[in-house]
Amino acid sequence: MSDSNIELGDIHWLMAILQNIDVGLVVLDRNYNIQLWNGFMESHSGLSPQVARGQNLFEQFREIPKDWFIKKAEPVFQLKTRTFTIWEQRPYLFRFKNYRPITGRASVMYQNTSLIPLESIDRNVNHICLIIYDVTDIAVSRADAQSAQQTLTDMNRIDALTGLWTRDHWLKEVQREVRRCQRSVQPSSLVIFDIDNFRAINGQVGHVVGDEILKTLAGSIQQTLRETDLVCRYGGEVFAALLVDTDDEEAQIFAERIRTMAANLSFTGAPDVTIGLSLGVARVQRDFKDAGDWLMAADKALYHAKHSGGNRTSVFTPGH
């Protein structure tokens, strides 16, 4: 009698542990009907073990894709091998709300789930156990780390004042384009341009308004770009554009459009200021060894535009 009492006591303790353990425990039969539903599952679903028992999993929880889950579960029944799902592949199995105060930014509970075969006395697997782990803290921490990394990447790639690409990031793309053009018959062009007499304007209106002029110009340029056009703030009041698959005639049209647009801009802090742009255009040449040669050609064209009076576009001519 005492041995029986001990065994019954052990079962009672075991059931208490199963009901109060801080992971979800669900047992399903061969028809995917719920046979065990512990306290974790009850507290997050609002469904008591008494009500859950005998309910079909897919009818009770329609957010679980039936075909996908059966494909995961059938090998567990047939091959007696455990499997799992992870939150990176599917954020959750059961759509439970996230109630953790520290990771309150997540609206749902991220979950990892193990599927374990349960052998009967005859060695057949007629039931499987699901163990549901709340990994919201891990998922949110990972997302925060990725967001921080992306922020650092953006800081290195995007100019803080204008929102255009930084010079270093843009130069990498120019170097890549030189190599591509050496293998291709398609032309590409650079346009380097700056604001005429910007130092004098800055001295007249002040640096705050000077920054407004740079931001306003950059914003207007961004509105005129194609998806393949890459523009950077090259430094100070100097900007540069990489125009992929664009010859020098088409690049000159782009440059003139930018110049005309700039001449018509107005600035809140300096309503009487009108700006002019000098622009240098250079089409990539097959004898350019690297991005430096290409940039030098565009810079020569810019120098010609400025020393021809400014507020104009000049195109690089090889041999001149």
Q: Are residues 117 and 245 in the same domain?
A: no
What is the residue type of 226?
R
- Judge whether 152 lies within some domain: no
Q: Are residues 121 and 196 in the same domain?
A: no
- Judge whether 320 lies within some domain: no
Residue 235 reports pLDDT greater than 60: yes
CATH number (domain holding residue 209): 3.30.70.270
Q: Specify the pTM.
A: 0.55
CATH number (domain holding residue 11): 3.30.450.20
Lowest mean pLDDT among 6-15, 173-182, 255-264: 6-15
- Judge whether 13 lies within some domain: yes
Q: What is the residue range of 51's domain?
A: 2-142
Q: Are residues 63 and 138 in the same domain?
A: yes
Give the model confidence (pLDDT) of 187-209 as tens digits.
Answer: 999 999 999 999 999 889 998 99
Give the model confidence (pLDDT) of 257-277 as tens digits.
Answer: 999 999 999 998 888 899 999
Q: Are residues 138 and 223 in the same domain?
A: no
Q: Per the structure, how many domains does the chain have?
A: 2
Quick one: average pLDDT of 78-94? 90
Give the model confidence (pLDDT) of 244-253 as tens digits.
Answer: 999 999 999 9
Lowest mean pLDDT among 17-26, 112-121, 230-239: 17-26
Q: Are residues 127 and 237 in the same domain?
A: no
Residue 17 reports pLDDT greater than 70: no
Q: Is 277 exposed, middle or buried (0-12, 13-18, 19+ CB in 10 A)?
A: buried
CA-CA distance, 65 to 77, in Å (whole number)?
18
Q: Are residues 165 and 135 in the same domain?
A: no
Answer whether 244's CB lies under 8 Å from 262's CB. Answer: no
pLDDT value of residue 4: 46
Q: Are residues 138 and 193 in the same domain?
A: no
- Judge whether 162 lies within some domain: yes
Q: Is 178 exposed, middle or buried (0-12, 13-18, 19+ CB in 10 A)?
A: buried
Lowest mean pLDDT among 90-94, 182-186, 227-231: 182-186
pLDDT value of residue 141: 80
Going by C-alpha positions, the residue among 183, 172, 186, 182 that lies closest to residue 230 is 172
Percent of the chain with pLDDT over 70: 88
pLDDT value of residue 320: 60
Give the model confidence (pLDDT) of 35-53 as tens digits.
Answer: 999 999 999 999 999 999 9
The residues with which 26 forms a beta bridge, in sequence order, are 37, 130
Q: Are residues 162 and 311 in the same domain?
A: yes
What b/e readout covers 69-101, taking b as 16+ CB neighbours within 10 angstroms?
beebbeebbeeeeebebebeebbbbbbbebeee
CA torsion sign for 148, 154, 156, 161 is negative
pLDDT value of residue 287: 86
